[in-house]
Every structure is written in C-alpha cells, then in structure tokens.
Amino acid sequence: MNFPFLSVIALTPIIMAVLLLAFPEDRKSEVRVAALAGAAACLGLSLWVYFTYDVSAGGYQFVEKFAWIPKLGIEYHVGVDGVSNPMVLLTGIVIFTGVLISWGIDDRPREFFAFLFILASGVFGVFVSLDLFQLFFFYEIAVFPMYLLIAIWGWKVTREYAAMKLTLFLFIGSVFSLIGALAMYFAIGKATGVYTFDMLKIAEAQAAGALNFNVSLFGSMIPFERLWFPIVFFGFAVLGGIYPFHNWSPDGHVAAPTAVSMFHAGVLMKLGAFAALRVGIMLMPEGARFHLPWIYVLTFINVVYGSFIAMRQTDLKYMIGYSSVSHMGLVSMGFATLNYHGYLGAAMQMFAHGVMTAMLFATVGMVYDRAHTRQRDELGGMAKKMPWVMAGFTIAALSSMGMPGFAGFMAEFPIFMGGWSAGQPGANFVAPYYSWLTIISAIAIVITAAYLLIAVQRVFFGDISEEHDHHVGDVTVLDKVAITTLATAMIAVGVFPFLMGPMVKSGIEAALRVFGGS
C-alpha cells in the first residue's frame, strides 16, 4: 500500500493539536516551534501531493478507502482531483503562514495553536472527502474552533457578538445541507437498493436516474432535485458568503485575530463554495440547471454590492471583508454559468482569492499590531517603516483587481468570459440576461481597483504622523517569510499558469461531464 498522504495531511493537524495541549502551560516558545513544525509538515506534504498529482491521468488520485460504519454505507474515503488539489495546497500555505504571523500571540498560545490546528484538520478533511458523511464530519470540525478562536483572541470590541453570529450562521447552513444530504441518501438507497454515502456512487446513481421522481410538497408534486437543491446549495453557500447570507462574514473577519481572518477568508469561505459545488451542483445537476439561473442574479448582487460597500469602508479590515464577499461572489458566479470558462475561472479564483486575501489580512494585521489603528485615514507613510508589508499588500491588491501577471487575472477573466457566453445563443442553456449582468459586474473590478489603490496610497504613502514615526517599527523576519511565501504563490500562478491551469481543467471537465459535456 502506498503512503497515505492525504490522511496524514488531514490528521496531522488534529494530532498536533492534541500534542500541543499536552505541553506544560508555561512552555510558550516550545509550543510555537512545535506548531510551526506541524504546519511546515502540512505544507510540505501538500506541495508533494500537488506536484506529484498526475495531470494527464486526471480523476481522483491518492485515493484511500476504508469501511467506517458499514451498516449505513459510511466509508472513510479520500482522494484529490484537479479542483480539490489546489485547495489542499492553499490550506497548507495558509496554515504555514498563519502560524508564522501568530508568533506574537502571548495569551494562552498553546490553546490558540491547538484550536487553529483542529480547524485546519477540518478544512483539509473536507477538501479530500469523497464520502458525504465524512464531508459533514470534517465540515463541522472546521466550524466550532472558529467560535473559540474569535471569542478568545479576537478584537475586544465585537468579538463575542461576531463569533456567535458566525458560528450560528455556519452551523445553520450546514445542518440544513445535512438534512438535504440525508434525503438524497435515502432516495438513492430506495431507488437502487444500495445505501451509500460514497459521493462517486451517488453521482453514478443520479446519472442513472435514481433521483428522477417527484416528491409532494403541500399537495403539489415537485421533482426531487428541484426541491432539495436550493436547501443543500444554500446551506453550504452561506459559508461561501452568498448574498443575502453574507453578513456574518465581514463581522467575523474584523473580529478575528489575524491568522484566523486569513484562515477564514482565505480557506474557510472556499470550503462553502467547494462543498456547494461537490454536493449541491455535482450530485444534483438537474436541480442546479433549474435553479442556478436565478442564483446567478444573487451572485451578481454579491459581486457588485460587495464591492460598493467595500468602497465605503474606512476600516481596512471591513474593507477587505466586504472585498472577500465580492470576490467570493465571483466564484459562485462562475459556478452559476454552468460552462467551461466559468468553472475554470471559479476554481482558479478559489485559489487566487485565498492566497490574495490571506495576504491582505496578514499585512493589515501587521500594520495594526504596530500602529494600533486600522482606520485608513489615520495611517500614512508606512512604506518607510515596513517596506515588505507595503510590497505584500500591493501585490495582493494588484492580484485582486485582476492585473495580468498575477493569480487573480487567471481567475477573474475566465469567469467573465463564461458569464458572457452563457448568455449567448447556443449556450448550455439560454438565459439572455447573463451577458448583461456580466458586463455590469465587470464594473466591480474597477471599484476594486479604486478602493485598493486608495488604501495603498493612504496607508503606505503620504506623510507619516509624528506618533507613528516614533513608535512603529519594521516587521519580524518570520512575517517577511510569510509575506514572501504568499507573494510567491500569487506570482507563480500568474506568470506560469501551466502550474495550475491544466490541473484545474482536468478537474472541472469531470465536473461538467454531469451536464453532458462542456
């Protein structure tokens, strides 16, 4: 048997968490070093998996499969394909950089890193799950540490409120999806006689027509998938920040400590989008085909409305928070096009936005730690004091506004292409307003450029206030390593698209096959 890479990646953090909790309370530096070692191991392994994945073969690789609760058809089943592989790498990058920039946490670092690692385990677990039960299992593991991380180490002003709001929103979403998944499980079981949570088998059964029946709702008969698709999809998409269920997200981002904001905006929101794709769209394609046209309108609101609100913010963290809502809207928008370019862009955007937003939160956190304010207009001239931070923020901003040469361009451009062509005659299904909404939403990119460039100019250039001139110093070496890691990922994918493009392509082609080819 081959080395179980994916299990090791998914379980290392949680085992690390238990080990960390066993450290004596006052050994703070040992805790930090151990945490860094664990995170580095995760990053190393995910890099290994990423680069040894055989793109030409495609499909699910590094598969491991064991019976878990056989009486219910529950298995431990992991594997990565072209869509989830970049996500695993993203999580590796974010946990590594997150530990680096959390070095300065002095209040109970042992518990902090332990909870952060439990969160990481949940996230890795969802990305590699091929079993529906297992997916929910890890999904919930990823939800609850957020509460503690934000409530204990967050921004004192709003942390308790924001933490509770976030946890309840996500929990509500996931349990509704869970009921939908159970309905699907029993429907498939009744139709085929095989009760299984294996997503690949569910997809096969669906393709064979096991879900083609009507269920009665208040006396009228509705096709099964049309009834359940929105429940499952929105249940997950809450975590992806879809309008109108997005407003937990900026509050959560702002209240969270820096590493958690990075995790949260960088990885966790992708978890929602990813699960909505895997469970919602791929397992119930007929429901998706029926509902996505109107969901497209919601994602359009996400993109445009998110960017306008971001424009209005003067608190940098709120600005990036709403910017995340807007950019995650692009991901759902890509999914809602149901065509090749849209999906390619959406999958790329999940990675690109993850790295970029992690960088934005990291750099803003560094500024805040030293200047003790996040108000854009109170800052200035930071470039002199911390040039690395300026460079990092600017790179992320350029990527975010879709500048060629950065990861964001590789992602956002195809989404707009997909949106445009979905509205043209001869598309997968015709919904003429797609093209128009796409044109308008492209404006959001201009807005993004505006607020990010204003932020760069106000925060890093101009005159530094006297107080800041005295007190603010440069960031540590560890911070610089984190910035470099994130910047490398963004530029590498932007300049050498072949590092990610073909892999993502192989993944989304499989996803689109359920819609009868792209």
- Residues near other proteins (CB under 8 A) are 14, 21, 25, 67-72, 108, 111, 133, 136-138, 140-141, 143-144, 147-148, 151-152, 159-160, 163-164, 167-168, 171-172, 175-176, 178-179, 182-183, 185-186
Q: Which CB, 108 or 384, lies closer to other proteins? A: 108
Provide, rounded to whole angstroms, the least separation between the CB of residue 110 and other proteins.
8
Residue with tokens 């469970």: 279
Comparing CB distances to other proteins, the nearer of 70 and 425 is 70
Distances (CA, A) of 493 to 56, 80, 262: 19, 19, 19
Beta carbons within 8 Å of 367's beta carbon, 6+ residues apart: 316, 374, 379, 382, 386, 389, 459
* Distance of closest approach, residue 111 Cβ to other proteins, in angstroms: 7
Side-chain-side CA neighbours of 292 within 13 Å: the count stands at 28
Pick 152 or 491: Cβ nearer other proteins: 152
Shortest reach from residue 284's CB to other proteins, in Å: 16
Parallel/antiparallel/unpaired status of strands 214-217 and 74-80? unpaired
Residue whose CB is less far from other proteins, 3 or 186? 186
Nearer Cβ to other proteins, position 73 or 402? 73
Spatial neighbors of 133 by CB under 8 A, at least 6 apart, are 68, 69, 72, 74, 197
Which 3-state string (H, E, C) describes 117-156? HHHHHHHHHHHHECEHHHHHHHHHHHHHHHHHHHHHHCCC
Please report how close the Cβ of residue 449 comes to other proteins at its closest, in angstroms.
39
Report in angstroms how near the CB of residue 197 gets to other proteins at its nearest: 10
Closer of 136 and 420 to other proteins (Cβ)? 136
Instruction: Give the shortest CB-133-to-other proteins separation in angstroms.
Output: 7
Task: At 297, list the tokens.
Answer: 């309108």
Residue 46 three-state SS? helix
User: Which stretch of DSSP H or E encloses residue 66?
Assistant: strand 61-69
Cβ proximity to other proteins: between 175 and 430 the closer is 175
At what angle are helices 407-422 and 433-460 packed, to 10 degrees?
160
Instruction: In angstroms, give the least distance from the CB of 151 to other proteins.
Output: 5
Q: What 8-state DSSP symbol labels residue 498?
A: G
Cα three-residue angle 485-19-115, rounded to 5 degrees: 60
CB of 120 vs other proteins, minimal distance in Å: 14
Distance separating alpha carbons of residues 423 and 273, to the nearest angstrom: 23
Q: Which is nearer to other proteins, 111 or 286 (CB)?
A: 111
